[in-house]
Amino acid sequence: MTPRTLDHPDRSEIRLEDVLHALSDPVRLQVVGYLAGSGESSCSAIDLAVSKSTTTHHFRVLREAGVIRQVYRGTAKMSSLRREDLDALFPGLLDTVIRAYDTQRAATP
Amino acid sequence: MTPRTLDHPDRSEIRLEDVLHALSDPVRLQVVGYLAGSGESSCSAIDLAVSKSTTTHHFRVLREAGVIRQVYRGTAKMSSLRREDLDALFPGLLDTVIRAYDTQRAATP
DNA sequence: TCCTTTGTACGACGGTCTTCGTAGTTTGAC
DNA sequence: GTCAAACTACGAAGACCGTCGTACAAAGGA
């Protein structure tokens, strides 16, 4: 009966090093790139080249670093970028990283 | 007699993941923050809270990721940010990270 | 109620990262 | 030629990371 909850760092607890580390993995960059263009998505909506448990792991790293927010909705877990918090803390960072990711992906197919 | 040289990745070899990983360490962020405000510096000009060999290691990580360029000058090794290359590849990334670093440092003393 | 869908927990494995000390090299100054 | 300064190379220790499979839990529909 307990509604399942997930720990998220408070905005004041988000550390730049942790955010950059969370973004320094190709799989997690792919997730962030996808979320940037899709708003809210379930974990399984993205086609990642790793197993289910590895996917869970990467989403948790992003959540614990403060990059994404996750909520349960039925059997699914919806994820979305914490744009407001990140933009307030580190203006422009998320956008420049996403643009850099898109640029690199376009350059190296 | 061979002038000591150091391997640097070509601009086209610089990967976003590697750059973000290089920037995701507190010591290396401190180095980048310092270089951003000082232009070219020797390794020992920055007061890092780690040993000399660890310092060498962190500078190498930054160099191999393509974040800094290093050249020998006498007994010293001078380091500087690869601003042109990074700005061309990932516009705004370096500046936003440095600004975010300054902001966080000012907020958490 | 049973089954499917969706995601979790746990433990494991191999690899990488950060850190260090010690010993060595290169350079320029005396 | 000797010496100090600046940095490197090497190896080691311990922590951490990415990956997986297996077994499990929660929610919703038939």
**Taking Cα atoms as reference points, which of A64, A63, A28 lies closest to residue A46?**
A28
Q: Which of B11, B14, B17, B86 would best serve as a mutation to test chain A binding (most A beta carbons within 10 A)?
A: B17
- The b/e string for A44-63 (b: 16+ C-beta within 10 A; e otherwise) is eebebeeeeeebeebbebbb
| Dihedral angle computed from the Cα positions of residues B40, B46, B50 and B51, in that order, rounded to the nearest 10 degrees | 70
CA–C1' B8–D19 (A): 30
Q: What is the mean pLDDT of chain B?
A: 95
Give tens-digit pLDDT for A39-92.
899 999 999 999 999 999 999 999 999 999 999 999 999 999 999 999 999 999
| Phi and psi at residue A101, to the nearest 5° | -65, -45
Through-space distance between the first and last CA atoms of chain A, rounded to whole angstroms: 47
Q: pLDDT exceeding 90 applies to what percent of chain B?
A: 92
Provide the residue type at A88 as one letter.
A
Chain centroid to CA B3: 22
- How much is the average pLDDT of B89-93? 97
Q: Which of residues 12-51 of B touch strand D (CB under 7 A)?
A: 42-44
Mean pLDDT of the region B14-19: 98
Confidence (pLDDT) at B3: 62
Q: Output the pLDDT for position B81.
A: 98
Strands (E), chain B: 41-42, 68-73, 76-81
**Amino acid letter at A104?**
Q
- What pLDDT score does A100 carry? 97
Which chain A positions have a beta carbon within 8 Å of B101's beta carbon? 16
Nearest nt to A42, CA vs C1'?
C6
Does A104 sit within 8 Å of B93, measured CB to CB?
no
Which pLDDT value is given to residue A3?
A: 61
Q: What is the pLDDT of residue A2?
A: 55
- Other CB atoms within 10 Å distance of the CB of residue B96: 19
Confidence of residue B1 (pLDDT cuts 50, 70, 90): very low
Where does the pLDDT of residue A1 fall: very low under 50, low under 70, confident under 90, or very high at 90 and above?
very low
A29 CB inside 7 Å of strand D? no
- What residues contact B80, with CB distance under 8 A and at least 6 apart? B35, B39, B40, B41, B68, B69
Query: Which nucleotide has the least CA–C1' distance to B3?
Result: C26
CA distance A65 to B11: 29
Confidence of residue B5 (pLDDT cuts 50, 70, 90): confident
Task: Decide if B96 and A91 are in contact by the 8 Å CB cutoff.
Answer: yes
Output DSSP code: residue A44: G
**B74: Cβ under 7 Å from strand C?**
yes
